[in-house]
């Protein structure tokens, strides 16, 4: 992948862009193997490749500059805007939408937030693209000062951007490095973006987490489903379930599946998908994964965990070690915290692992591991 922003030194986010893609894959798998070092019983499946560019289904754009000339991208070291609306990582639909959205900033007189001066309104534009060619757009604002102008000009935006299915305002009034706030104001009748993955329609709400690489996420869920089917559990917990990707994929007749996620928005999305798909025996709860496990009267046959970068932590890992759970499917975006968690669970032996390149051009990757109780 070639990037004129990287070559000019304007953006260095793609730290591995100068490595050939085959080398990136090899280096990621080597790094993961070294961290896990689980011995000869661990079988490594071939890594899952990604498209080298155009794979990101979500753009998180910092808005800077001025109303007549906004920038959408990142901030430079002194707080000035660097325009990256043509970033090659984004899906083509997002690349086509960003110039239209930049023009909307001007038309609706949305003053970009000036980090140095601590004034202005529009902080971020969050744009998500679905596999079916639809968009969700969120305007992260400091206040509701521009709400009336956004509503006034929204029909024109919908006309120029017919792919726009769901739009909202997110309020983040504080001067701190936080992407979004707690309050969401819907601008369109539709509030969810359908994400079609492996024949399932996952409903993405504004504050729900979804993997940024749809094709690799689909491969991740297929791999998890394959291992669960082989284990044939009667009961499954999907902890840190998000919008229910793993839980919905492993649902089956005669199997009880519980998904646990702190985000009520994500739980609502997952519940909607389960209802629409007629998946009996699947339910979702808004709760902390560790608290749920520690308070439960018993343990399921199999647990799926898909935690954030910090991992599941010693409390949940210790519970899994002592629980008697026969199998764990651990999906990790940080092999360092995965290795740390595995050290707390010596009775759960890694038997299969697979690296999935969710984040090309960087050192980051996803790895999924099947653990089996000795």
* Positions marked active-site: 333
What are the structure tokens assigned to 228, written together?
């669960």
Q: How far apart are CA 193 and CA 136, in angstroms?
A: 6
Angstrom distances, CA of residue 168 to CA of 24, 69, 334: 37, 23, 31
Q: How far apart are CA 8 and CA 69, in angstroms?
A: 21
Q: How far apart are CA 227 and CA 8, in angstroms?
A: 45
Q: How far apart are CA 127 and CA 73, in angstroms?
A: 12
Q: How far apart are CA 129 and CA 96, in angstroms?
A: 11
Q: How far apart are CA 50 and CA 213, in angstroms?
A: 8
What are the structure tokens assigned to 76, written together?
């430079």
Q: Do 211 and 232 contact (CB within 8 A), yes or no?
A: no
Tell me the pairing of strands 58-65 and 256-261: unpaired
What are the structure tokens assigned to 88, written together?
């090659």
Q: How far apart are CA 253 and CA 74, in angstroms?
A: 48
Q: Give me the sign of the Cα torsion angle 212, 215, 218, 219.
A: negative
Residue identified by tokens 């000019």 is: 8
Residue identified by tokens 């975006």 is: 333
Element (H, E) at 135: strand 135-141
Q: How far apart are CA 249 and CA 84, in angstroms?
A: 36
Q: Is 315 helix (H, G, I), strand (E, B) or coil?
A: helix
Q: Do 87 and 49 contact (CB within 8 A), yes or no?
A: no
């Amino acid at each position: 992948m070639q990037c004129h922003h990287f070559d000019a030194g304007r953006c260095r986010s793609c730290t591995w862009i100068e490595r050939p893609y085959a080398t990136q894959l090899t280096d990621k798998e080597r790094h993961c193997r070294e961290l896990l070092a689980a011995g000869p019983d661990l079988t490594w499946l071939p890594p899952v490749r990604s498209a080298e560019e155009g794979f990101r289904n979500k753009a998180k754009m910092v808005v800077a500059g001025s109303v007549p000339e906004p920038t959408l991208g990142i901030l430079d070291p002194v707080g000035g805007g660097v325009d990256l609306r043509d970033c090659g990582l984004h899906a083509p639909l997002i690349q086509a939408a960003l110039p239209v959205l930049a023009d909307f900033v001007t038309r609706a007189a949305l003053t970009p937030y000036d980090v140095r001066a601590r004034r202005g309104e529009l902080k971020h534009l969050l744009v998500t693209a679905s596999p079916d060619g639809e968009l969700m757009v969120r305007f992260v604002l400091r206040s509701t000062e521009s709400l009336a102008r956004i509503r006034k000009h929204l029909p024109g935006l919908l006309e120029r951007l017919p792919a726009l299915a769901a739009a909202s305002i997110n309020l983040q009034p504080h001067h701190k490095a936080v992407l979004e706030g707690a309050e969401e104001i819907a601008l369109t009748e539709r509030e969810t973006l359908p994400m079609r993955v492996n024949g399932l329609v996952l409903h993405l709400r504004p504050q729900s987490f979804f993997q940024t690489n749809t094709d690799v996420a689909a491969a991740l869920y297929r791999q998890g489903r394959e291992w669960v089917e082989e284990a044939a559990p009667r009961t499954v917990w999907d902890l840190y379930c998000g919008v229910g990707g793993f839980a919905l994929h492993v649902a089956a007749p005669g199997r009880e599946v519980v998904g646990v996620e702190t985000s009520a928005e994500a739980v609502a999305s997952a519940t909607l998908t389960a209802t629409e798909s007629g998946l009996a025996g699947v339910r979702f709860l808004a709760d902390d994964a560790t608290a749920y496990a520690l308070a439960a009267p018993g343990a399921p046959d199999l647990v799926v965990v898909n935690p954030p970068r910090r991992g599941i932590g010693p409390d949940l890992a210790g519970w899994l070690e002592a629980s008697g759970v026969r199998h764990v499917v651990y999906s990790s975006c940080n092999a360092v915290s995965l290795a740390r968690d595995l050290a707390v669970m010596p009775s759960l032996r890694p038997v299969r692992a697979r690296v999935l390149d969710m984040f090309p051009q960087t050192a980051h990757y996803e790895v999924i591991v099947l653990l089996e109780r000795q």
